[in-house]
Amino acid sequence: MKNKICRISSVLLLCAVFAGSAGAAEKLKVLTSFLPMYAHTKSITGDLADVQMFIDKDADPHDYEFKPSDVKKVLAADLFIANGAGLEIWLKGLLEKSGNPKLKVVNTSEGISLMDNPKEFFKGSAREEEEANDGSNKNPHVWLDPVLAQRQTENILAALVQADPKNADAYKKNAEAYLVKLKKLDEGYRSAMDKLANKNLVTFHDAFPYLAKRYGFNYLGCIAQFPEQDPKPGELKSLVQLIQKNHVKVIFAENGYSPKLLSEVAKQTGATVSEIDTLEIGTPDANAYLKRMGDNLASFEKAWKP
CB of 207 to Zn ion, least distance (A): 4
CA–CA dist 121, 16 (Å, integer): 64
Instruction: Give the residue with the Cβ less far from Zn ion, 163 or 292.
Output: 292
Q: Which of 240, 212, 233, 230 is nearest to 304 (CA)?
A: 212
Instruction: Give the residue with the Cβ less far from Zn ion, 79 or 144.
Output: 144
Phi-psi region of 86 (alpha: psi -120 to 50; beta: other; left: phi over 0): left
Q: Which residues contribute to the site for Zn ion (CB under 5 A)?
A: 207
CB of 222 to Zn ion, least distance (A): 10
Instruction: Give the residue with the Cβ less far from Zn ion, 88 or 235.
Output: 88
Q: Which of 261, 255, 266, 247 is nearest to 200 (CA)?
A: 247
CA–CA dist 238, 163 (Å, integer): 50
CB-CB neighbours of 232 under 10 Å: 12
CB of 85 to Zn ion, least distance (A): 11
CB of 295 to Zn ion, least distance (A): 17
Residue type, 15: C
CB of 47 to Zn ion, least distance (A): 30
CA–CA dist 205, 224 (Å, integer): 5
CA–CA dist 300, 250 (Å, integer): 9
**Largest separation between any pair of C-alpha atoms in the chain:** 92
CB of 62 to Zn ion, least distance (A): 5
Instruction: Give the residue with the Cβ less far from Zn ion, 178 or 257.
Output: 257
Contact yes or no for 273/299 (Cβ under 8 A): no
Instruction: Give the residue with the Cβ less far from Zn ion, 74 or 222.
Output: 222
Contact yes or no for 47/102 (Cβ under 8 A): no
The residue of the chain with the least Cβ separation from Zn ion equals: 207
CA–CA dist 50, 31 (Å, integer): 8
Instruction: Give the residue with the Cβ less far from Zn ion, 147 or 207.
Output: 207
CB of 163 to Zn ion, least distance (A): 28
CB-CB neighbours of 58 under 10 Å: 9
Instruction: Give the residue with the Cβ less far from Zn ion, 32 or 45.
Output: 32
